[in-house]
Structure 1
Amino acid sequence: MPLTELVHYFNKRRRLARPGAGGEGFEIVDGRVRLRFAGRVLGTLFQPVVGQGEAGVIGHEAHLQVVAGDAGGVPAQAVFLEARDDDELVHLDRSVRTLHALNFLLEREQRGGFLSLNVHPQLIRSVSDHHGHVFEGVLARCGLTPDRIVLELADDGFGDPARLAVAIAEYRERGYRIAIDNFGRHSADLERLERLAPDVVKLDRCLIGHFGHLSLAKRVMTELAAEARRLGLQLAIQCIENPLQLQVAREAGADWLQGHLLGRPAVGCLPVVRPRRPRRAA
């Protein structure tokens, strides 16, 4: 379906779901899709994710960008604070992921790579079941399938993990891959991680270390990498900002690498490296 028709379709769906939304919705500006919400214009930035060794770019994480209407310099994620109730926040969260999916479609370089999207924690608390069903329909309209999507979920490490575990199981049943984001910020409970059973665990920036503390960071990340492999998980190390951090992350055995040193969030995607096909025997 052409982009203009997709935007028209999703705007119609928004008006039906939120009749009082007024002028809010999607628009195409300079060849990119934007989202108007609460007096702001929102866009998408893509940050590359690099694979292990010489794998190169294997996917991108989408970040929300405030394009206009935010003279106070409020961080993009603070837009969610503008939601008037849980229903509107859930609707906004899905709209933001739809925005990112639409802009991902415009990227010729993304073919073969995955798109990583953040899910707001309130959606998990507000939606009781059938997680991923509504967004699967959005992806289908965009010509994407859940196996191309990594959903990043936050876990504070303290509350009852039962609801989050159910949501993860339902997402995975539909074919999405799941990453637990910022692991180690609040808690590094491996038994809890095993119960949640994601596909990927992304370490919090506090664990990557800084100059003078990289030896400790290497020991911690090496141990966590070993535990991740034991649990059958992939390990992602993010917020890599200098060559020493990159060296530590690689030596620790990280599967995914991400950070400003490897690529800052940008409007366009970097070329994705496609795996080589094995040669046939002569």
Structure 2
Amino acid sequence: MIAPTIPDLVARAAHHPFLREHLVMGQGAHRDIALAQFDDFELASAYEPIFDISVHALAQSLSSGAEEVDRFGDELGFQAVTYQLGSAPFEVFDPFDRIGNDQELVALDRMSRALHAINFFGAQRHGLLFLRVHERLLKSVKYDHGLHFSTVLKSFGLTPSRVVIELPAAAVAHKTFLGYLAKSYQHYGFKVAGNLSNAGQILSVSETARLDFIKMDAVVALRDATVKPLVGYASRLRVPLIFNRVMDETQFVALQQYDVRFVQGPLFNAHYHDRAA
């Protein structure tokens, strides 16, 4: 079966009345990607790589550094980032902060996820697609979390199994709610990741709230000297632990000392996209 291209997927999105109003192919320099038009914004997709550095840890010395990522790192997947066209891809921009109405936020969230899926799968990227879900969306949608997006993906001819729904720390803090969300998204075929705001939140992850991935801010973990216990506890849970927001070479080297396997963050973005360009 031939994989659909970005234009193919934009054409399929036109069968959805809401998506048809907002998703278009870009023009000029952006003619190869899909864009989303929402209010006065023109939104595009960027992808932050998540690297598996375990091969490097066995074969290379600690001094190899982040510039060697393209040689030793296998991409587990990519986290989608929404950015405003005309700005830098990883420049801080959160369109959700500008929306007060919950129904508009639900619409923007669904549109953004469809946009990122089209640009990711239509470009035949490999690995997993990590998609953040806004905390307010989780409160606005009362039940069957994942049903709508699963239906959209299947109508595109895509499978939810390569999509990781990334839950905010506020959801992870409540074990019962976390368990419900994880089971609901997994029921509809998605994988689920949970963000920790602090090391103690990992105690919310259990058999009743089984996650496929855990994500922790590397800056916070290194500052609080919790990298080692987090790695150990995640290993006992048998849930992969991703340290994100790795800012510089010093942090990267420090993480390697604790047998960290998965990393992402600003340190790798420019290097990765320069290589991919």
TM-score, reference length from structure 2:
0.78
- What is the aligned counterpart of 1:26 among 13, 20, 23? 23
Q: 2:93 aligned to 76, 83, 102, which one?
A: 76
Map 1:1-282 onto structure 2 (within 5 A). Answer: 3-4=6-7, 6-15=9-18, 25-29=22-26, 30-54=31-55, 55-68=73-86, 75-77=92-94, 79-108=95-124, 110-111=125-126, 113-156=127-170, 160-181=174-195, 183-185=196-198, 188-194=200-206, 195-209=208-222, 217=225, 220-264=226-270
Contact 2:150/2:189 (8 A) holds in 1: no
- Supply the distance in 2 between the matched residues of 1:172 and 1:268 (Cα, whole angstroms): 35
Aligned-residue CA RMSD in angstroms? 3.0
The separation in 2 between residues aligned to 1:136 and 1:268, in whole angstroms, is: 33
Percent same amino acid among aligned pairs? 24
Q: Distance in 2 between matches of 1:268 and 1:89?
A: 33
Q: Distance in 2 between matches of 1:114 and 1:44?
A: 15
Paired with 2:176 and 2:256, the residues of 1 have a C-alpha distance of 33
> Secondary structure of the equivalent of 1:128?
coil
Deviation at 1:240, TM superposition (A): 1.7
User: For structure 2, which runs of at least 5 residues remain unmatched after alignment?
Assistant: 56-72
Distance 1:129 1:264, change over 3 A: farther
Q: Which moved more, 1:3-12 or 1:169-178?
A: 3-12
- 1:63, 1:265 within 8 Å by CA — same for their partners in 2? no
* Runs (5+) with no aligned partner, structure 1: 18-22, 272-282
- Equivalenced residue count is 249
Query: Would you tell me which structure has more helix in proportion to its own residues?
Result: 2
CA contact (8 A) 1:199 1:233 kept: yes
TM-score normalised over the length of structure 1: 0.77
